Amino acid sequence: MIAVQGVDGTVVAVLGLGRSGLAAARALREGGAKVVVWDDTPAARDRAEAEGFEVRALTRDGSFDDVACLVTSPGIPHLYPAPNPVIAHALQAGVPVDNDIGLFFRSVGAEYDSFDTPPKVVAVTGSNGKSTTSALIHHVLTQAGRQCQLAGNIGRGVLDIDPPGDGGVVVLELSSYQTELSRALTPDVAVFTNLSPDHLDRHAGMGGYFAAKRRLFAEGGPDRCVIGVDEVEGRFLANQLSEGRGDDRVIRIATAKLTGPGWYVFARKGFLAEWRKGRQVASVDLREIPGLPGAHNHQNACAAWAACRSLGLGPREIEAGLRSFAGLPHRSQRIAEAGGVVYVNDSKATNVDSALKALLAFDRIRWVCGGLMKDGGLDGLAPGLSHVAKAYVIGREAETFALGLPGAEAEICTTMAEAVRRAMADAQPGEVVLLAPAAASFDQYDNFEKRGEDFIACVQAVLGQVG
């Protein structure tokens, strides 16, 4: 646990008592704060009370009179589409609002002066690929013998990790919900993977969404920035952060060749290349690495490569880590192969852009898709529909979703079990049965993990019957 600094003797309120909220409450108490908590769920309040925390209804008059700061969980809206009533009350009372990421950055470096080699923090954000990129950086560093911890939007809560030791590295995956509110953002290395429409209601449009991501780079001034420049937002961000074309504090990454005097890592036709000061210094064939299928994962590999190079690893160390990476559950996860058919779980493909990348990774697909549709429609899937032999649509909005796939054969299945059964019955050798929903899971599942687990269970059940 990382004890929060600067709170000794103060009263701090915590809103939301999930994984990150409870970890924040414990870390605040460890730092000497009196912690009061609230969650709309009675069971969550009971768990916190059992740990000795004072439960306080934070919307009552006077509930913030003695509170120095409110710490909120990332899923709770503080501005758009409307502030949560507790946060609205705190804003009215003039009480600063922060989150666990802000507490982490203001506390983690408290004892760095005692280290021979100060620890480093790598923070990864972006629309797609940030989980895989974060896990890949962690894997490569660990395989190279570096002390490393993975936290944030993946793995453990940031305040629940151990204080990093001499030369240690903390890798954080940060969502826009986390970066938009944190009052301190000071990573040593910051990574921006890409940007595509997502969470637009929460950020009141693409401008607000990009602004939330940009804070990671603008607020704390990282020593090195790794920026995906396939989209105009990334090119704009890289331009803002660099002093000139040869400024190697910014490493540009892309899925197309980059040229010039700067520092570049790009993947083209399955080959990763690192260029610096106008010459190639390393290259790797990514095509046969099973844990990194498709151009989108090649972009993730570029980001991880650049971050690890920033931390002093050599090309051979990084290549060895890439080759031993097994991938993450629910992210291009190869779960089975039978009768010449491959089964892939990409339940994390919750938006159109990430689902498109999954479609483009395979040639002929039996596609399980659908769920709670997001703003923006499905037009962005068009470039991948030629790879789809047939779509098997699930979810309460299955009929509407299917209508958004012009030119693609689609069958309304509604349930996962029916979609998997039909897709497996139709699949031919050489094809892929792919779950890449292009939609949120909340119409049928608690989260995308539960959806992916159901897909796996349905596939295994049918394979067991066949066997």
Binding site residue list for ATP: 126-132
Q: Which residues belong to the annotated binding site?
A: 126-132
CA distances from 435 to 154, 181, 252, 347, 411 (A): 21, 33, 31, 6, 14
CA nearest 24: which of 131, 152, 155, 165? 152
Q: Is 133 exposed, middle or buried (0-12, 13-18, 19+ CB in 10 A)?
A: buried
CA nearest 315: which of 296, 297, 302? 302
Strands 341-345 and 333-338: antiparallel
Three-class SS state of 414: strand
User: Contact 408/402 with Cβ under 8 angstroms?
Assistant: no
- Rounded Cα–Cα distance for residues 350 and 328 (Å): 15
Three-class SS state of 199: coil
| DSSP codes, 17-39 | -SHHHHHHHHHHHHTT-EEEEE-
CA nearest 118: which of 165, 63, 51? 165
User: Contact 390/411 with Cβ under 8 angstroms?
Assistant: yes
